[in-house]
Amino acid sequence: MTPEISSLAKKFQIKAGMSLLVLNAPGDFPAMLAPLPAGVTVATSGSGPFDAVHCFARNSTELERYAPAALAALKPDGMLWFAYPKGTSGIPTDLSRDNGWDAVTAHGWEGIRQIAVDDVWSAVRFRPNAQRGSDELLEKHFAGPRAALRPVYDRLIGALSALGDDVTVGVRDSYVAFARRKQFAVFKSRARPVQAELGLRLPDVAASPRLAPAGKSFGSESATHVVVLTLPEDIDHEVLEWLRRAYEDVG
């Protein structure tokens, strides 16, 4: 006999053995999900990576607060859900099905599906824009003067390939993410000045003039340090060693 699974778990496409991260949810949400498929684990904190992340936000301010952690904790092929108050809920909100998601879409995600959670909440599933054509999206990173940075990126890809065949590449609107079991590096191209920024997740490594602390745009879970690259030769032995360490730390 097939074990009973809640209708909400089916809506969220929760499968046996999945790991879930739930952020800022109302207290009754775990009970609403039950019964879950066999082997599903539910956490309310942690850096992951998780198979699915369910984040609740009453407004865009809360979304800006929780979105970075939600994105950083998700596996490259994971499912991302953001819940927001329905218009009939009585909860003041500036979020709707099609508006208010800048904190998510700015990182290369798009809403693709909406479901009703209950009488108060609706939820939108997001996926990376890269799934609509990563090659085309990647070329946008090297438009105009940034074309000079393509050899830098190609050398980086070669270095990553040498680390192992388990590196996944996620192309987003504003960056390219590299993950193993968890994201460990981020590539960004800049036009002013023309330079690439390689963000690395190295929580136990001290900063240096070359390995600077990463700014807020990277997110602490995505990268702790950043290296500026302008030429392929900038990916030298020192950078390769940092890259290897970041890769191994998430293995």
pTM above 0.95? no
Average pLDDT, the chain: 91
| Mean pLDDT of all residues in 134-155 | 91
pLDDT digits over 12-38, tens only?
999 999 999 999 999 999 999 999 999
Of 83, 91, 234, nearest in space to 159 by CA = 234
∠ CA(194), CA(200), CA(202), 5° rounding? 150
Taking the C-alpha atoms of residue 62 and residue 59, their distance in angstroms, rounded to an integer, is 6
Instruction: Tell me the residue type at 242.
Output: W
Long-range contacts of 231-235 (CB under 8 A, 24+ apart): 231/151, 231/152, 232/151, 232/152, 232/154, 232/155, 234/152, 235/152, 235/155, 235/156, 235/159
CB crowding 112-137: b at 16 or more within 10 Å, else e: eeeeebeebbbbbbbbbbbeeebeeb
- The confidence score (pLDDT) of residue 135 equals 75
